């Protein structure tokens, strides 16, 4: 789930492989061999070499899922999602611009970032909102404390029901982080469980962002150790990189402890922000975004793009491309919500954008001319004269 850097090795796989190789070499030493199986010895019939599949692809999957919509009270939104370098797509989402009934002016959006499989994230994307609504804590009175209680109870109930499904379907290892927002006529409710993140931009600046739940955070680490776990390599028991999530039931077996006191807690952190006419936009995104770009950088980037682009899907697509180019190896998902006070098209910004594009085109053209002059001019390199056929140049231009 956590974006890895190129050239690094995912720690859980590394540890397993290290232990495996150590056991083989120690066993071989006592058998008189030099490593692996003793010389001439074949593995037993029941023994199979464990092959740890790479979590990454040789090349990224660049196809994007794009959605857009609006609410009757003036909210517009878009979603962008891409598998990227990951071997599997484990992100899911839920976009409900209008809840209906007496909550017709309420909206709900969420990003689910799965790990160890996609089934838990998919299940939660389909059932979490229903469990929240079933608590009955949301209504026209818009009481923040009641709504916060309803959200937390909805998460706990989702995890409880998920547990029985996971045991039946064999999903015990799977889990998902969740970042969600519930928007009422008066408040924005931010909900985070894990290391995905939400950010609110107001008057061109970051007004609020959720806190990531990581095992090495002091309060999270204290809970983990109290439940019998440890934190090493910044992960729970050297393996899981988040300290709160739905699912992950192999980390929730401590006796005489409530669900919120387990190594991995399903209890979200809920924060309430009063709405303002200065609210511009809100972002929900998985860690595939936040590992490569800061809150302030993303706020500035989106703020600038909204002044030259009216299609929110294009803005989401540009954010995804930016994160990919900056080195994200994770699935990348983002939901962009724009309030009535969002930046509008600016003639000045459009003019500056056009000037920048002209400048870039001239720079690229200059580089291309220099390359062509080098190609057509015989060069001596280490005593060898290089002649280039014109057909090769035509081929280069074609690609």
CATH code (residue 336) = 3.60.40.10
Would you state the pLDDT for residue 372? Answer: 79
Cα(363)–Cα(350) distance, integer angstroms? 20
Q: Examine residue 50 and state whether it is found in any structural domain, yes or no.
A: no
Would you state the pLDDT for residue 246? Answer: 98
Cα(251)–Cα(175) distance, integer angstroms? 10
Q: Which residue from 81, 162, 151 is spatially nearest to 126, judged by alpha carbons? A: 162
Would you state the pLDDT for residue 14? Answer: 44
The whole domain housing 314 covers 58-347
Domain boundary among 308, 325, 347: 347
Asked if residue 370 and residue 294 are part of one domain, the reply reads no
Asked if residue 183 and residue 278 are part of one domain, the reply reads yes
pTM of the model: 0.81
Would you state the pLDDT for residue 161? Answer: 97
Asked if residue 376 and residue 302 are part of one domain, the reply reads no
Burial group, residue 370, by CB count within 10 angstroms (0-12, 13-18, 19+): exposed
Alpha helices in 32-107 (DSSP H): none
Q: Examine residue 28 and state whether it is found in any structural domain, yes or no.
A: no
Would you state the pLDDT for residue 155? Answer: 98
Q: Which residue from 383, 390, 288, 398 is spatially nearest to 60, judged by alpha carbons? A: 288
Cα(26)–Cα(239) distance, integer angstroms? 25
Q: Examine residue 193 and state whether it is found in any structural domain, yes or no.
A: yes
Q: Which residue from 315, 296, 340 is spatially nearest to 70, judged by alpha carbons? A: 340
Residue 203, by phi and psi: left (phi above 0), alpha (psi -120 to 50) or beta? left
Cα(225)–Cα(221) distance, integer angstroms? 6
Asked if residue 175 and residue 247 are part of one domain, the reply reads yes
Asked if residue 368 and residue 277 are part of one domain, the reply reads no
Asked if residue 323 and residue 188 are part of one domain, the reply reads yes
Residues 83, 65 contacting (CB under 8 angstroms) = no
Q: Examine residue 177 and state whether it is found in any structural domain, yes or no.
A: yes
For the chain, count helices (H), then strands (E).
9, 16
Asked if residue 244 and residue 315 are part of one domain, the reply reads yes
The residues, any chain, with a CB within 8 Å of residue 338's CB and separated by 6 or more, are 75, 76, 77, 280, 281, 306, 312
Mean pLDDT by 10 residues, the chain (399 residues): 39 46 46 41 54 88 98 95 98 96 96 97 98 95 96 98 93 94 98 98 97 98 97 96 97 96 98 98 98 98 96 98 97 98 91 84 82 69 46 39
Q: Examine residue 16 and state whether it is found in any structural domain, yes or no.
A: no
Count of structural domains, the chain = 2
Q: Examine residue 237 and state whether it is found in any structural domain, yes or no.
A: yes
Asked if residue 293 and residue 394 are part of one domain, the reply reads no
Cα(276)–Cα(306) distance, integer angstroms? 19
């Amino acid at each position: 789930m956590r974006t890895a850097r190129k050239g690094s090795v995912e720690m859980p796989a590394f540890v397993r492989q290290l232990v495996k190789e150590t056991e083989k070499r120690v066993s071989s030493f006592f058998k008189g061999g030099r490593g692996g199986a003793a010389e001439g010895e074949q593995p037993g019939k029941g023994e199979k070499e464990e092959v740890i599949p790479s979590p990454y692809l040789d090349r990224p999957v660049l196809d994007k899922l794009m959605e857009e919509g609006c609410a009757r009270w003036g909210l517009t939104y878009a979603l962008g999602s891409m598998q990227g370098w990951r071997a599997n797509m484990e992100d899911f989402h839920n976009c409900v611009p209008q809840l209906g009934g007496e909550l017709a002016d309420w909206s709900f959006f969420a990003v689910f970032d799965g790990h160890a499989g996609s089934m838990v994230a998919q299940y939660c994307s389909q059932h979490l909102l229903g469990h929240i609504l079933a608590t009955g804590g949301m209504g026209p009175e818009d009481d923040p404390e009641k709504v916060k209680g309803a959200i937390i109870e909805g998460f706990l109930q989702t995890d409880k029901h998920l547990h029985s499904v996971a045991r039946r379907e064999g999903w015990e290892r799977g889990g998902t982080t969740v970042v969600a927002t519930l928007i009422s006529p008066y408040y924005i409710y931010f909900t985070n469980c894990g290391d995905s993140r939400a950010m609110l931009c107001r008057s061109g600046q970051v007004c609020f962002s959720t806190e990531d739940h990581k095992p090495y955070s002091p309060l999270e680490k204290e809970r983990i150790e109290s439940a019998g776990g440890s934190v090493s390599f910044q992960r729970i028991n050297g393996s899981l990189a988040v300290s709160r999530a739905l699912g992950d039931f192999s980390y929730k077996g401590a006796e005489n402890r409530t669900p919120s006191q387990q190594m991995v807690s399903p209890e979200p952190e809920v924060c309430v922000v009063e709405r303002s006419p200065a609210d511009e936009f809100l972002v929900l995104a998985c860690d595939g975004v936040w590992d490569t770009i800061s809150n302030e950088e993303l706020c500035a980037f989106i703020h600038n793009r909204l002044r030259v682009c009216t299609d929110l899907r294009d803005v989401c697509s540009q954010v995804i491309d930016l994160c990919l180019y900056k080195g994200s190896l994770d699935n990348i998902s983002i939901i962009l919500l724009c309030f009535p006070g969002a930046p509008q098209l600016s003639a000045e910004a459009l003019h500056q954008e056009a000037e920048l594009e002209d400048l870039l085109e001239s720079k690229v053209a200059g580089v291309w001319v220099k390359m062509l002059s080098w190609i057509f001019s015989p060069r001596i390199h280490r005593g060898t004269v290089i002649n280039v056929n014109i057909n090769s140049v035509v081929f280069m231009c074609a690609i």
